[in-house]
Amino acid sequence: MAILDILILSILVLCALAAVRTRDLLGAVIIYAAYSLLMAIIWLQLGAPDVAITEAALGAGVTTILMIATISKTGRYE
Protein backbone atom coordinates (compact mmCIF):
# COMPACT_ATOMS: atom_id res chain seq x y z
CA MET A 1 0.00 0.00 0.00
CA ALA A 2 3.04 2.31 0.28
CA ILE A 3 3.05 2.92 -3.48
CA LEU A 4 -0.64 3.89 -3.38
CA ASP A 5 0.00 6.24 -0.46
CA ILE A 6 2.90 7.93 -2.24
CA LEU A 7 0.81 8.27 -5.42
CA ILE A 8 -2.19 9.78 -3.62
CA LEU A 9 -0.04 12.17 -1.57
CA SER A 10 1.85 13.44 -4.61
CA ILE A 11 -1.40 13.98 -6.54
CA LEU A 12 -2.73 15.79 -3.45
CA VAL A 13 0.23 18.21 -3.44
CA LEU A 14 -0.18 18.72 -7.20
CA CYS A 15 -3.90 19.49 -6.72
CA ALA A 16 -3.18 21.99 -3.94
CA LEU A 17 -0.59 23.80 -6.06
CA ALA A 18 -2.83 23.82 -9.13
CA ALA A 19 -5.83 25.14 -7.17
CA VAL A 20 -3.73 28.08 -6.00
CA ARG A 21 -1.99 28.75 -9.33
CA THR A 22 -4.89 28.57 -11.80
CA ARG A 23 -6.51 31.80 -13.03
CA ASP A 24 -9.89 30.20 -13.86
CA LEU A 25 -11.86 30.25 -10.61
CA LEU A 26 -14.34 27.55 -11.69
CA GLY A 27 -11.41 25.28 -12.55
CA ALA A 28 -9.86 26.06 -9.17
CA VAL A 29 -13.07 25.02 -7.40
CA ILE A 30 -13.20 21.73 -9.32
CA ILE A 31 -9.54 21.03 -8.53
CA TYR A 32 -10.33 21.78 -4.90
CA ALA A 33 -13.14 19.19 -4.99
CA ALA A 34 -10.66 16.63 -6.32
CA TYR A 35 -8.30 17.62 -3.49
CA SER A 36 -11.09 17.00 -0.94
CA LEU A 37 -11.86 13.58 -2.42
CA LEU A 38 -8.19 12.53 -2.25
CA MET A 39 -8.04 13.88 1.31
CA ALA A 40 -11.04 11.69 2.20
CA ILE A 41 -9.18 8.62 0.90
CA ILE A 42 -6.17 9.61 3.01
CA TRP A 43 -8.34 10.00 6.14
CA LEU A 44 -9.62 6.47 5.48
CA GLN A 45 -6.05 5.19 5.14
CA LEU A 46 -5.15 6.86 8.44
CA GLY A 47 -7.99 5.02 10.20
CA ALA A 48 -10.50 7.88 10.62
CA PRO A 49 -13.60 6.83 8.64
CA ASP A 50 -15.84 9.31 10.45
CA VAL A 51 -13.71 12.25 9.32
CA ALA A 52 -13.52 10.69 5.84
CA ILE A 53 -17.32 10.62 5.47
CA THR A 54 -17.62 14.20 6.69
CA GLU A 55 -14.81 15.34 4.38
CA ALA A 56 -16.40 13.64 1.36
CA ALA A 57 -19.85 15.10 2.09
CA LEU A 58 -18.73 18.59 3.14
CA GLY A 59 -15.48 19.21 1.30
CA ALA A 60 -16.36 17.66 -2.04
CA GLY A 61 -20.09 18.35 -1.93
CA VAL A 62 -21.34 21.35 -0.01
CA THR A 63 -18.23 23.58 -0.21
CA THR A 64 -18.03 23.09 -3.98
CA ILE A 65 -21.72 23.93 -4.40
CA LEU A 66 -21.45 27.08 -2.28
CA MET A 67 -18.32 28.26 -4.13
CA ILE A 68 -19.93 27.62 -7.53
CA ALA A 69 -22.99 29.60 -6.40
CA THR A 70 -20.67 32.45 -5.40
CA ILE A 71 -18.89 32.32 -8.79
CA SER A 72 -22.22 32.44 -10.61
CA LYS A 73 -22.99 35.66 -8.71
CA THR A 74 -19.56 37.25 -9.38
CA GLY A 75 -17.04 36.60 -12.17
CA ARG A 76 -15.36 33.45 -13.43
CA TYR A 77 -11.91 34.94 -14.13
CA GLU A 78 -9.88 36.97 -11.70
Partner 1 sequence: MQEILILKIVVRFVIPFIQVYGFYVITAGHLSPGGGFAGGTIVAASMVLYALTFDAHQGLEKLSHERASIFESLGAIWYVGLGFLGVLVGGNFLTNGQIGIPLGTPGQLISGGLIPLLSFGIGIKVAVTVVSLYYSLVEED
The one-letter code for the residue type at 16 is: A
Residue 76 is a binding residue for partner 1 (CB under 8 A): no
CA distance 26 to 7: 25
Residue 49 interacts with partner 1 (CB under 8 A): yes or no? yes
Q: How many other C-beta atoms are found inside a 10 Å radius of the C-beta of residue 35?
A: 20
CA–CA dist 76, 68 (Å, integer): 9
Q: Does 69 bind partner 1 (CB under 8 A)?
A: yes
**53 contacts partner 1 (rule: CB under 8 A):** yes
Q: Which is nearer to partner 1, 19 or 68 (CB)?
A: 68
Closer residue to partner 1, CB minimum distance, 17 or 57:
57
